[in-house]
Structure formats: structure tokens, C-alpha cells
Amino acid sequence: MGDRYPLKWVTVVAAVAFVLAWRRRRWWIPLVALPSQFVVEQYTQQILALTVNRGHPPTDVGTYPSGGCARVMLTFGTIAVLAGLTWNVPRRGRIAIATALAVLVSVEGYTRVYAEKHWLTDVLGGWIFGALLLGVLVLTVLVADGRVRPPVRSANATPVEVTTTA
């Protein structure tokens, strides 16, 4: 499930679907966000794999962190965020989507360890790595969509002078 080839197709189909759904507003956001998450994850994971060079499991050449776990979290997490921004999803629906994402990521991690493609620490690292990248992507999408605005400086605010005494 976390291999690059099938997730490329999921990314392309989701990008097209969300561009069509967002055609009346900032349609370029899903067109940029979905392919970007795929590319950023791939190259950042490769840099981390070169940085943390350690032994591989006996049956495969899995590296730290697990790119499959990070890709599943990032791809389906991005789709979930865009779905939440596209449609008015009730609280139960958001909980169901978050639960489905957690199950997908957990199953991916379990199968990577079970098939001896990664060590357990590789999977844990992939989850942390994917969650951090997803957090940055969510913030970027929210700022681009205008849902998060920079703080407004008050006109009455005076700068604070810092004095030091020796």
C-alpha cells in the first residue's frame, strides 16, 4: 500500500478530483499540494536515509525512516484535509476520517515489520516523519486558502525597550 507507484496514481486522481471540486475558488491549491507532498516526502526521506546509515533487515533493504509509512500518512492525510476543506464534514465524519487514516498508517507499519522490510524503529520514525510533514503541509494549505491569517499588529502598540544593567 505504501509503495510509490500505486500512490502516484492515488495522488494524480485525487489532484484532478479536488481541482474539479475547487474550480470556483483557489483551484490551484490541490493541484500544487498533492504532487508536492509526494515529491517532498520522497527526497526528504532519501536524505534522511543517507544521514542515518545503519544495517537493513535480513530480507530487504528498508531504510530509516520507513518511506511507505510516511507516504501513506502524507498522501491520505492530505486527501483528508482537502476533503474537510471541500465539504462541510460533521464532527463524526471527521473522527471517522481520522480513524481511517490511523488504521491505514498502522496497518502499513505492521505489514512493514511483519514482512521484515523494516525494523520497528524505522516504522516509528516513518510515522513521526510523516506526521511532521503532514503538519507543515496542513498549515501551508490553510494559509494558502486564507483560513489562517498572520497576526494583526495593533495601532496603539508601542515597542518595548529592553535595557540591560551591568
Domain extent at residue 78: 4-144
> Does the residue 162 lie in any domain?
no
Per-residue pLDDT for 46 more than 70? yes
> Does the residue 156 lie in any domain?
no
- What's the rounded mean pLDDT across residues 72-81? 92
- Distances in Å between the Cα of 15 and the Cα atoms of 3, 11, 84, 123, 148 are 18, 6, 15, 27, 22
> Does the residue 151 lie in any domain?
no
> Does the residue 132 lie in any domain?
yes
Q: What is the DSSP string of 61-83?
A: ---SS-HHHHHHHHHHHHHHHHH
Per-residue pLDDT for 47 more than 80? yes
Instruction: Encode pLDDT of 104-152 as tens digits.
Output: 999 998 988 888 788 888 889 889 989 999 999 999 888 888 888 877 7
> Does the residue 166 lie in any domain?
no
> Does the residue 160 lie in any domain?
no
> Does the residue 153 lie in any domain?
no
Per-residue pLDDT for 162 more than 80? no
